[in-house]
Amino acid sequence: MTARRLPVVPRPYRGELLSSWLARVACRYGLTHQALAEWMTDGGRSFSPIQSVDDRLPAPEQVRQWAWSCGVDPERLLRLSLSRRHPQRPNSWYTCRGPEWAPSAMIGSPAVCLACLAADHTADRDSWLRADWVLAEHCICPKHGHLLRDRCLGCGHRLSVAFRLREGQARAVCSRCEALLIDRGGEDDAPRDAALIEAALSIQQQVAQIVDGEGPAHEQLGQALATLWAPLDHPAAARPVLALWLNQAGWRCPYEVRHAVGVAMPLGQLPVGWRFVTLLAVNDVFGVNPDGVATSSETAIRLARRAASRRMRAMPPPLHGMATGPLPRSSAEYERLANQILADPRWTAAQCLSQRKRYSARARLIDAALSRKG
């Protein structure tokens, strides 16, 4: 069976995801983009639907098949692939669906800027998904200054984007509740700190330049991010080192981000809000372009020291009855160490400092006390 031609096909936008363009084509025929990609091949025998669209590195023969069926220059479609846009970027610096994501899987449904989709509606053109929305560090829209949305305002579920034909135009909707994804203004807009947004945009841009550039800088940045999301003190801890930077008493790691604790490259697996917080933290602690982890500042040294090492996390559990590492301290010894800290002149002098500085002084004294032998 030969490939089939389609009579009505919208043209791709310059900054669009390949899967977004296919979805806009497909919605005009009542199909999903996976089903359309399968239909355009040889009766669906050559490619399975789950492999039909890869925004990062699509198969050239598939792209040529889609281009022929849609009457589009194949080179124009290949330019939509993320590998063409960001040839130096590692796969781990794209967003993914979370703990079930695998390197061979497709990129998850991106967070969206509702103001951008509203602008498409106002201009009376198709809604479309911007390729920058799947970059791991991209959490603020540089055009509108809005935090991207990864949850539906209608049903509250994690956003999964679909396209529906409305008045002759493809519109982005939530695939669960069919709510139109558009910036309605008023109650949908959270209060924004202009200075904070400007700072986050600057950090976001610097991170993008590092990740898309050559050299080891992106590896150092990835190491700093992994340190912030390393388990706190113990390899099996559910709290990340980031909890120390947040400095909130009784803070517990939310369930939606626990899968990122201990992950080597956590940023792309986090919801948008947590990506935003993580970028602010890594800039504050290590700097956007860290020259090695745990050497940038006193805060970086303290946080890196509290991170459970990757070597410890990779070690198998000890056999039953076999002790490994130093023996645990007794309650009496911990009480003696606590009394030493309380009697230390440096702790007495710290009482006149601010709460944040007292916490830092206390942490240094605790680290010093625990590092002593005997």
Same-domain status, 40 and 159:
yes
Asked if the structure places residue 4 within a domain, the reply is no
User: Residues 230, 278: contact at Cβ < 8 Å?
Assistant: no
Among 188, 221, 238, the domain boundary falls at: 188
The boundaries of the domain holding residue 169 are 18-188
Same-domain status, 75 and 168:
yes
Which SS3 state, helix, strand or coil, does residue 4 take? coil
User: Residues 299, 314: contact at Cβ < 8 Å?
Assistant: no
Same-domain status, 26 and 163:
yes
Asked if the structure places residue 107 within a domain, the reply is yes
Q: What is the pLDDT along the chain (374 residues), one digit of tens a residue?
A: 355 788 889 999 999 999 899 999 999 998 887 788 777 765 545 444 334 578 898 888 888 988 998 999 999 999 999 999 999 999 889 987 543 333 333 445 689 999 999 999 999 999 999 999 999 999 999 999 999 999 998 888 888 899 999 999 999 999 889 999 987 654 444 546 788 888 889 999 999 999 998 877 888 899 999 999 999 998 888 899 999 999 888 888 999 999 999 998 999 999 999 999 999 999 999 887 665 554 567 888 888 889 987 554 444 444 444 344 444 556 667 667 777 777 788 878 888 887 777 777 877 888 777 766 54
Asked if the structure places residue 179 within a domain, the reply is yes
Q: What is the DSSP letter of 147?
A: B
Asked if the structure places residue 328 within a domain, the reply is no
Same-domain status, 212 and 135:
no
Same-domain status, 184 and 200:
no
Same-domain status, 219 and 152:
no
Joined tokens for residue 323: 């002790």
Task: State the Cα–Cα distance between residues 306 and 327, nearest whole angstrom.
Answer: 19
| Residues 21, 22, 23, 26, Cα dihedral to 10° | 130
Task: State the Cα–Cα distance between residues 345 and 351, nearest whole angstrom.
Answer: 10
Using alpha carbons only, give the angle 233, 237, 243 rounded to the nearest 5 degrees.
70
Task: State the Cα–Cα distance between residues 135 and 205, nearest whole angstrom.
Answer: 11
Q: Residue 288: CB partners within 8 Å, gap ≥ 6? A: 203, 206, 207, 210, 221, 282
- Partners of 164 in the beta sheet? 171
Main-chain dihedrals φ then ψ at residue 264, nearest 5 degrees = -65, -40
How crowded is the C-beta side of 283, counted as CA atoms within 13 Å? 17
Among 188, 221, 254, the domain boundary falls at: 188
User: Considering its fold, how many domains does the chain have in total?
Assistant: 3
Q: Which residue has the tokens 């946080």?
A: 303
Asked if the structure places residue 326 within a domain, the reply is no
